[in-house]
């Protein structure tokens, strides 16, 4: 006897399923949208005209939330390299790096990274998230320790979970707490200390020389620095905060991404460790993931080589950061750092209601920024995150400050 197939879902005991744990978040989002604001996480850019300008719902909008720090997305040489690779090698690789997924372009971008960083090895991943996931989980496993800043990026935490290492957190940017917690661990245990050059929410910079000195007091420690938000901008060669602060010889691994200053997508790790190449055989997020398309690695290689000679761009980006920081401070906004420390400037707001109100007011004025809230931000912190670009003109920075003044006054955030 055949069964009748119906379109009705099976009855659920107590009307609960695996999605029930998200009900509070769903209710919060629905309540927010019921007030008439746009969904902050559903913005569509209908047209992107340049690294700093897009069209959103028919309105020209200045982009101040894209992480496109060096403005390489529209660089003519970068775009031409991508088009050429697309014609010559096709749309994708359909394979992992260890099988059929290593093309000429993958070796070229790794060579560019080695030249850029002055290292003996470079390994490219499909995203920056996977670079952290892969490196941390492979280096530190069961019985090992990962010591990390409490404000570390989600990819760093996820790398710890995947590797099943013991996680030890220290207070954000606290050298004293880092030293103390290392001192409590067994001397014979293997340890990986993970730091970030620039922390993406507040835009503050780590005191790497002091932290490295604290780490080197303890046995069996290696140091990995994530320079996702420092590459291209900091240091004489644009390598990152660790270069600018003079600890290049004291760091074992540098992890980074192509999705910020390089202007495309992908991740990497560079190192001078003599055994580094074995990572290609044992790192699961590298071995079991399809490799980047030929057009992407071609754009990345071209961009990286141009970033080696981007001193003028770096200088202009610093000027933009200093101008915007001063302008917003003078208006009365509370910022994430007392002085401009990076290309990220965080505007701290009182609560979610105020954050959403200013975010929407800015969008209506023609300015796009990122709105962030816990758990992405420190507990109880709601902010608008501005990420400046070397391609923002002086006139655009003046416009941005004026837009913040108008939006802040409209919602009562400033006098």
As a whole number, the mean pLDDT across the chain is 94
**Three-state DSSP string of 276-320:** HHHHHHHCHHHHCCECCCHHHHHHHHHHHHHHCCCHHHHHHHHHH
β-pair type (166-170, 145-149)? parallel
Domain boundaries, the chain: 35-70+311-410, 76-307
Give phi and psi for 303, each to the nearest 5: -65, -45
| pLDDT recorded at residue 1 | 46
Above pLDDT 70, what percent of the chain?
97
| pLDDT recorded at residue 9 | 53
| 146 to 166, 241, 267, 280: CA distances (angstroms) | 6, 21, 21, 21
Domains 35-70+311-410 and 76-307 share a fold: no
Cα–Cα distance for residue pair 360/42, rounded to 1 Å:
13
Cα–Cα distance for residue pair 204/385, rounded to 1 Å:
12
Let me know: does 185 contact 191? Beta carbons within 8 Å: yes
SS3 3: coil
Q: For residue 404, what are its two tokens?
A: 């913040």
What would you report as the CA-atom Rg of the chain, rounded to the nearest whole angstrom?
Answer: 23
Nearby residues of 222 by Cβ (< 8 Å), 6 or more positions away: 139, 191, 192, 193, 252, 253
CATH 3.30.43.10 fits 76-307, yes or no: no
pTM, to two decimals: 0.93
Tell me the per-residue pLDDT of 216-247, one tens digit each, with 9 for 90 and over.
999 999 999 999 999 999 999 999 999 999 99
Cα–Cα distance for residue pair 50/125, rounded to 1 Å:
27
SS3 94: coil
Say which CATH class 35-70+311-410 falls into.
Answer: alpha beta
Q: For residue 98, what are its two tokens?
A: 């260890």
In DSSP notation, 119-172 reads: -SEEEEESSHHHHHHHHHHHHS-TT-EEEEETT--HHHHHHHHHHTPEEEEE-T
Let me know: does 25 contact 345? Beta carbons within 8 Å: no
Cα–Cα distance for residue pair 147/149, rounded to 1 Å:
7
Q: For residue 188, what are its two tokens?
A: 């014979």
Buried b (16+ CB within 10 A) or exposed e, 98-137: eeebbbebbebbbebbeebbebebbbbbbbbbbbbbbbbb
Of 12-16, 69-73, 126-130, 196-200, the range with the lowest mean pLDDT is: 12-16
Give the residue from 304, 165, 171, 157 showing the smallest Cα distance to 232.
304
Q: Which region holds residue 57: left if phi is over 0, alpha if psi is between -120 and 50, else beta?
A: left
Q: What's the pLDDT band for 10 if we cut at 50, 70, 90?
A: low
Tell me the per-residue pLDDT of 142-184, one tens digit each, with 9 for 90 and over.
999 999 999 999 999 999 999 999 999 999 999 999 999 999 9
Question: Average pLDDT, stretch 82-99?
Answer: 96
Cα–Cα distance for residue pair 226/228, rounded to 1 Å:
6
Tell me the per-residue pLDDT of 355-364, one tens digit each, with 9 for 90 and over.
999 999 999 9
Tell me the per-residue pLDDT of 55-68, one tens digit each, with 9 for 90 and over.
999 999 999 999 99
Q: For residue 226, what are its two tokens?
A: 């994530």
Cα–Cα distance for residue pair 336/338, rounded to 1 Å:
7
Tell me the per-residue pLDDT of 248-278, one tens digit each, with 9 for 90 and over.
999 999 999 999 999 999 999 999 999 999 9
Mutual angle of helices 394-410 and 311-331, in 10-degree steps: 20
C-alpha 248, offset from chain centre: 21
Q: For residue 347, what are its two tokens?
A: 């505007």
Tell me the per-residue pLDDT of 27-45, one tens digit each, with 9 for 90 and over.
988 988 888 888 877 889 9
Give the residue from 331, 397, 355 showing the smallest Cα distance to 64.
397
């Amino acid at each position: 006897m055949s069964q009748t197939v119906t379109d009705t879902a099976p009855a659920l005991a107590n009307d609960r399923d695996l999605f029930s744990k998200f009900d509070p978040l769903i209710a919060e989002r629905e309540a927010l949208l019921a007030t008439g604001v746009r969904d902050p996480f559903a913005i569509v850019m209908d047209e992107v005209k340049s690294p700093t300008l897009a069209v959103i719902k028919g309105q020209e909008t200045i982009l101040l939330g894209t992480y496109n720090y060096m403005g390489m997305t529209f660089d003519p040489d970068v775009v031409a390299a991508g088009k050429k690779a697309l014609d010559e090698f096709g749309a994708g690789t359909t394979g992992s790096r260890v099988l059929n997924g290593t093309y000429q372009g993958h070796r070229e971008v790794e060579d560019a990274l080695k030249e850029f960083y002055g290292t003996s090895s470079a390994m490219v991943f499909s995203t920056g998230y996977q670079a952290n996931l892969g490196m941390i989980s492979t280096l530190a496993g069961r019985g090992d320790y990962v010591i990390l800043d409490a404000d570390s990026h989600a990819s760093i935490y996820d790398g710890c979970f995947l590797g099943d290492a013991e996680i030890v957190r220290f207070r954000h940017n606290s050298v004293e707490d880092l030293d103390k917690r290392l001192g409590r661990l067994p001397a014979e245990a293997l340890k990986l200390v993970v730091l970030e050059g620039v922390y993406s929410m507040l835009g503050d910079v780590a005191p790497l020389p002091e932290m490295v000195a604290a780490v080197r007091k303890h046995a069996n420690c290696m140091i990995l620095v994530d320079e996702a938000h420092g590459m291209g901008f900091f240091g004489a060669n644009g390598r990152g905060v660790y270069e600018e602060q003079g600890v290049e010889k004291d760091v074992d691994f540098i992890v980074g991404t192509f999705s910020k200053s390089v202007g495309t997508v992908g991740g990497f790790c560079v190192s001078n460790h003599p055994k580094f190449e074995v990572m290609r055989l044992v790192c699961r997020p590298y071995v079991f993931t399809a490799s980047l398309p030929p057009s992407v690695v071609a754009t990345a290689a071209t961009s990286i080589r141009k970033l080696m000679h981007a001193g003028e761009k770096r200088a202009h980006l610093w000027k933009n950061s200093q101008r915007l920081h001063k302008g917003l401070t003078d208006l009365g906004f509370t910022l994430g750092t007392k002085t401009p420390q990076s290309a990220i400037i965080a505007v701290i707001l009182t609560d979610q209601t105020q954050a959403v109100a200013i975010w929407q007011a800015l969008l209506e004025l023609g300015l796009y920024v990122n709105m962030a809230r816990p758990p992405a931000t420190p507990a109880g912190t709601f902010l608008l995150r501005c990420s400046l670009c070397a391609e923002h003109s002086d006139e655009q920075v003046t416009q941005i400050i004026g837009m913040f003044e108008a939006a802040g006054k409209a919602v009562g955030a400033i006098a």
